[in-house]
Amino acid sequence: MTSPNGEETSFGAGRLGNYHKSLPHDVLGRVHAPTYQAMVAALTSGDAGSLETLPVGANRSNAEPFTDTNPPQYAEYPGGAPGYRKLTSPLTGLVYDTQGADAGALAISAAPEIASPEFAAEMAELYAMALLRDTAFTDIATGTGTAAGGIAVQTIIDALGSVPFLNGSVTGKLSRAARRRYESRGTITDGNSLFRGSTPGSKHGHWVSQFMLSGNSNDSPAGKFVNLNGANAPNNAAGPAFRGIFAEVGHNDGFLFFGTQIIDQRSIVAQPGVDYLTNWAAWLDCQNGVDGNNFDIFLGRRRYLTTGRDIATYVHYDALYQAYLVACLMMANDGRSFPKDRGMPETRSSTRSAFASFGGPHILSLVTEVATRALKAVWRQKWMHHRRMRPEVAAALITLHAADPNLLGHGDLADRVGMLSGAIPASILTAIAAHNVDQNAASRIKPKASPPEGFPTIPDNTNYLLPMAFPEGSPTHPAYGAGHATVAGACVTMLKAFFEMFEADGVTEKAWPWPIFRPAFSSGNQNEGGELVPVADAGGYTVQGELDKLAMNIANARNMAGVHYYTDYYESLRLGERVAVSIIEEQLSLYDEPVSMSFTTFDGEPITISSNGDTSRVVVDGSHAADWYDRYGN
């Protein structure tokens, strides 16, 4: 059963603690109450017709008369006034499915309350992610260099290490859900423990999963690849000047095979040092639905994912199952290194090979199809239950409180935001304010010259707006849970189920079969594509660990962009896992012969999904899975 945290009705009609992006707001960011109430009524009743009457999207205009439901735009934009964004799939969570759990059958726990130690840790982490957005993951791990706002990387690490929820010193009672998150997070002891997620694999080694760096290999004896004249063709030599025109590739070239076509692990990345929504006018326009899409600036050459901004750009434009389809192709192209689960019929057969069932077409279809089921489940949580504010709004509350607590207009909310602000390390907030000054001086999106009456004055030294990686800020759907994270949990679970995760003993995790790489820029030219170099310590990497890390990478990349919280990642990953298991359980019941799939859950428990040719069942840590399916709803 889903139980929200109760804050939706705690702070007055302005709903300052909830999600209402793209609806009309006053100059302090308080939503137009009748519009919010109409939206909630339409959501809970499934009334699509009522949604069509809301002052959102095409029902809005940047033309007079300006009213409470049609506020003006407060910033100037390159190319003139943008249009308005629509709500994103608000009724999707009401649908039913013919395979796997319905959207309403699964739940996630209540989101942390504003004044909780966990929420303070989430906001401190998000501010730190924004400051470290252009710092290489390798430099974060070693605590090297200076971040945005002029703060040393090591100072950020030390500051986060002082936060009780991040150093293991929380006192007082935690809910069962908060206790699970608290204990699985681990503590911050150095840079290598920052932004790591909740699974053992995600905490080991280089921050970026090998599934987002390495490539397939078809290195062959001389004569396999030839020029038109029949002479031996040259192979690739990975390096900064490498452009990948040759057909023969190695793991360090970073290419995946999609049939005879190539997928390159190098990505288009956004220009370093450019953040958004750092002035009140741009922030308020964004909340009012002004469409900031397509103001991004990109580097002229692709490169391996090296910084938080790089991977934030990846999750800004990815097809939602993209990273897992690529991982599936990587494994399917090398069946010797990545065999299928031993419990599948063809894996143990002397005469049969897998194709139509349990072969390439089967897993390639499922790893993508499960994404739609995951989205339906999490969209129900977002819209029908929690309606959690996005981080950009929480940071605005902190900013208003710093300017004048009375601006929040509700004493209890002001008190709670004051507690939240006081629990975030001052050194991080100071650096955020300094960074925002720099951003506002260089920004192409400027406040209009004459702000309207009542427009808040935000002092530079207390401008704690969250610098966003995306010009449009967060999407137009609530924060909790996270679509990317739920899809990550579902798709990675499919891969863990279909491919063998263990050595012959069935207990030891299968070691990563290829060399371990990290990206480097040996030429010293940041515009180059980079190259993959072996890591110094390649021990301890496993296939399952790198899959879990892949899920963390994609989910946490949304946090690094500033659009989600840690709890969005944590709870949604496990929601997606349950969606995937429910589909597998149902499918296996339809086979006429015994089948089983075994792996380790995101909580570290052994799980087996099996059928006897008639019925199927799920066993988690030795027990039937009914309690496991329901565990996360409280």
Catalytic residue ranges: 477, 484
Identify whether the C-beta of residue 133 lies closer than 8 Å to the C-beta of residue 275. Answer: yes
What span, in angstroms and rounded, lies between the C-alpha atoms of 126 and 147?
14
**351: Cβ contacts below 8 Å, ≥ 6 apart:** none
The residue behind tokens 């894996």 is 347
The residue behind tokens 């790893």 is 367
**261: Cβ contacts below 8 Å, ≥ 6 apart:** none
What span, in angstroms and rounded, lies between the C-alpha atoms of 353 and 345?
9
Distance of CA 439 to the CA centre of its chain: 24
- List Cα–Cα distances, 42 to 36, 50, 383, 384, in angstroms: 10, 6, 11, 10
Counting every residue, how long is the chain? 634
What span, in angstroms and rounded, lies between the C-alpha atoms of 566 and 576?
16
Q: Which tokens belong to 197?
A: 């997620």
What span, in angstroms and rounded, lies between the C-alpha atoms of 424 and 431?
12
Distance of CA 536 to the CA centre of its chain: 28
> If 0-12 CB within 10 Å is exposed, 13-18 middle and 19+ buried, where does residue 298 land?
exposed
Identify whether the C-beta of residue 97 lies closer than 8 Å to the C-beta of residue 373. Answer: yes
**372: Cβ contacts below 8 Å, ≥ 6 apart:** none
DSSP-based three-state secondary structure for 607: strand
Closest alpha carbon to 481 in 383, 556, 557: 383
Packed helices 117-131 and 153-160: angle between N→C axes, nearest 10 degrees: 170
DSSP bridge partners of 226:
232
Q: Which tokens belong to 339?
A: 């065999």
Sign of CA dihedral 125, 127, 129, 132: negative
What span, in angstroms and rounded, lies between the C-alpha atoms of 502 and 509?
4
Bond prior to 481 in cis (omega within 30° of 0):
yes
Helix (H) or strand (E) holding 519: strand 517-520
Please give the radius of gyration of the chain, using alpha carbons only, rounded to the nearest integer: 25
